[in-house]
A and B are shown apart, each in its own frame.
Chain A
Amino acid sequence: MTELPQAMIETATSAADWVLVLPIVLALMGAAALLVVRRSNGVPMLGAVLVIVGIIACEISLLLRVVSEGPLSMTMGKWLPPFGISLTADLLGAAFALAAAVVTLIVVLYAEIDRDGNDSGDGFHSMVLLLLAGVTGSFLTGDLFNLYVWFEVMLIASFGLIVSGGTPLQLDGAVKYGFLNFLATTLFLLALGLTYGLLGTLNMADIIRVAPEANRAAITGIAALLLLAFGMKAAAFPLNAWLPASYHTPSAAVSALFAGLLTKVGAYALLRSQVALLPDSRDLLEPVLAVLAIATLVIAPLGAIAETQLRRAIGFFVIGGIGAILAGLSMPNVIGIAGAGIYIFHAILAMTALYMVVGLVEVRTGARDTRQMGGLYAASAPLSILFFVLILAVAGVPPFLGFWPKLLLLEAGVMDAELGWVGTAMVVALVLNAILTLIAGTRLWAHIFWRNGPEGSPGSSEPMALVPPTPKVRMAFTVVGALVLGVVLLGLWPNPMIEVGQRAAADIIDPGRYIEAVGLAGGAS
């Protein structure tokens, strides 16, 4: 009888480690439970809030643990990695998962604004929880095929959310959204098959271990395919056309959820795959990433300037943010990656808040096009302040949250002499992006809030007739205000965030601790 290596985990997982899988389990079970009670009035919303609060509690304790002890891993089904499917939380994943759960909670509260008694039974809250499960799973998984599965969970939930309501406008947007996102995940699957064929493993830690010994050209091909697939998901130029075609069609709450979570998961997957998993591909792909980043940074705010439909204009800001993240990826030093990571964190919070404020503007003016808006400042100064703060945060004006990651990105471009033209070009593109975003944003603000009335109206000082706020609108305003306050406070005390971001980036660039956490550190398995 030959001596066989250990293949199974014999000891039970310690209770404390369960915080890693609990957020996903809670979201999935919650979604199923809410489906059962979906027709009882008010219960789904209350249930969703309770479940998400539970998820947030788990993720706070997970984040604290990862901060103090380093990456945490748990392998399903008792098989030792790389055979069992690992869930692995490092700083980046844990922090994003927490931000995602927080904005989901805010969106669930905000969504009451355009829901009434007749809506019960459409399963909205189940689908939101399913979407959160997919997003959280994507952030916490340590296995490439598992990531694909979470992408699909997220995708099917988002399909349900984008068509719920079923207006012709939504169906039109959903066809474009559906085809392009399904195509992106199919391309991801294609790259997965090639990865398995080349490396014989799909566990992320194992891929990091064995990829340097594989054929460099094949690795580069796989990385390019992943760049295409995740770039499509993240709406990076030139694969961004589906986003402004679909994100403005569902209700404001759903738009906000999508803008905060979906493209960011694509950006996170790009960061993970291009920097952490397959760094050998960078010789060839780095100029590609840089050109994509510059094009996205410059073209997106120009789209926003040219657009009159309010939510479509905001969609271009989302794309511009993806450009900033790509800029960080094309400068793979600790500061650049930290900038990209913190930018994702910022974008999850700020983009969601911006869409929700836009939803409030739409409710108050009864219009969706900026040409039919005007004079809102007279009716609701606080709303105009929220909008203005978020525009400044998105453009990256100090002292708001968006400024710090952009400062890190600029620092990365200036400091690292090895980058050559990429560093200089990125600094120029980032500054240009900030200026153009500021122009687009302030023009929107001036049109909606500052001018006297809608386009074509005589210069009277009469403000336009506005829909008076209902109690629901006031409630929605309060929760959005709380989120914006969070964005402002994080911008005023950014030190802990920047420190955590730099440690997360160091872990991405030198994945020793990550591999050790999964348990693959010691030689052959």
Chain B
Amino acid sequence: MDYVLAALVGVFVSLGVYLLLSRSVIRMLIGMTVLGNGVNLLIFTSGRVMREVAPIVPAGLEVPAGPIANPLPQALILTAIVIGFSMFSFLLVLAFRAYKSLDADNTDTMRLAEPENAPQPPLSY
């Protein structure tokens, strides 16, 4: 199971990186999401996969009876999902605003902050 998940993480991350290399802003956004989900899956896997034993201490005992699923990675992922989602929403709105006011969804044509034909540096002094 761990190996399958690890391979899946690899697929997610490489797909995310591939999409991020695109010039289209929307593809880059989707790439960010895929990459982020790959990372979440990685945290899940790195906590060691353990099926169907909830991390609950039975009544009357002070420690769990046997091995249990690791609850910590789930807390980490939950935080990461919330943060990743809010960042994604912000970037989505930003991309939309940039499309509206710059009329560009291609990074090659977004050259307002870095003019394409930059002037030569001054030769005086």
Contacts and interface: CB of A to CB of B under 8 A. Distances in A.
Contacts of A39: none
B23 interface: no
Interface string A229-245: 00000000000000011
B18 to A, nearest CB: 14
B63 A2 contact: yes
B68 interface: no
Nearest to A167: B101
Contacts of A175: 25, 94-95, 98, 107, 110
B102 A443 contact: no
Given A190-B42, A443-B125, A149 B79 contact: yes
Interface string B49-68: 00000000000001100000
A224 to B, nearest CB: 15
Interface string B80-120: 10011011001100110110011000010011111000110
A69 B87 CA distance: 40
Contacts of A443: 122, 125
A372 to B, nearest CB: 11
A172 B35 CA distance: 23
B83 A152 contact: yes
Given A4-B63, A196-B43, A183 B20 contact: yes
A249 B119 CA distance: 18
B43 A182 contact: no
Contacts of A370: 122
Contacts of A182: 32, 87, 91
Contacts of B69: none
Given A186-B84, A371-B122, A193 B98 contact: no
B45 to A, nearest CB: 7
A169 B112 contact: yes
B122 A246 contact: no
Contact of A145 (B20, B76, B91): B76
Given A172-B102, A194-B42, A308 B122 contact: yes
Contacts of B86: 156
Contacts of B32: 179, 182-183, 186
A171 B25 contact: no
A180 to B, nearest CB: 10
Contacts of A246: 113
Contact of A451 (B90, B97, B124): B124
B15 interface: no
Given A4-B63, A171-B94, A190-B42, A308 B119 contact: yes
Q: Looking at chain B, what size class is its interface with the partner chain?
A: 35 or more
B1 to A, nearest CB: 15
A189 B97 contact: no
Given A172-B102, A193-B43, A196-B43, A308 B121 contact: yes
A106 B47 CA distance: 45
Contacts of B101: 166, 168, 171
Given A4-B63, A156-B90, A197-B45, A149 B83 contact: yes
Contacts of B62: 1-2, 4
A475 B63 CA distance: 64
Interface in A134-168: 145, 148-149, 152, 155-156, 159, 163, 166, 168
A394 interface: no
Contact of A155 (B47, B87, B97, B119): B87
A308 B122 CA distance: 7
B125 A446 contact: yes
B42 to A, nearest CB: 4
Given A175-B110, A178-B91, A166 B97 contact: yes
A229 B21 CA distance: 17
B46 interface: yes
A156 B87 CA distance: 7
B114 A245 contact: yes
B113 A245 contact: yes
A307 interface: yes
Contacts of A244: 114
Contacts of A183: 20, 32, 35
B28 interface: yes
Contacts of A248: 113
A326 interface: no
B35 A186 contact: yes
A186 B28 CA distance: 14
Interface of A: 1-2, 4, 145, 148-149, 152, 155-156, 159, 163, 166, 168-169, 171-176, 178-179, 182-183, 186, 189-190, 192-194, 196-198, 244-246, 248-249, 305-308, 369-371, 442-443, 446-447, 451, 455
Given A171-B94, A308-B121, 15 more contacts: A4-B63, A155-B87, A156-B86, A159-B90, A171-B101, A174-B94, A175-B107, A175-B110, A176-B113, A178-B90, A186-B84, A190-B42, A193-B42, A308-B118, A443-B122
25 contacts: A1-B62, A2-B63, A4-B62, A149-B83, A152-B83, A163-B97, A169-B112, A171-B102, A172-B113, A175-B94, A175-B110, A178-B90, A182-B32, A186-B32, A190-B13, A192-B43, A193-B46, A193-B76, A194-B46, A197-B48, A198-B46, A308-B119, A446-B125, A447-B124, A447-B125
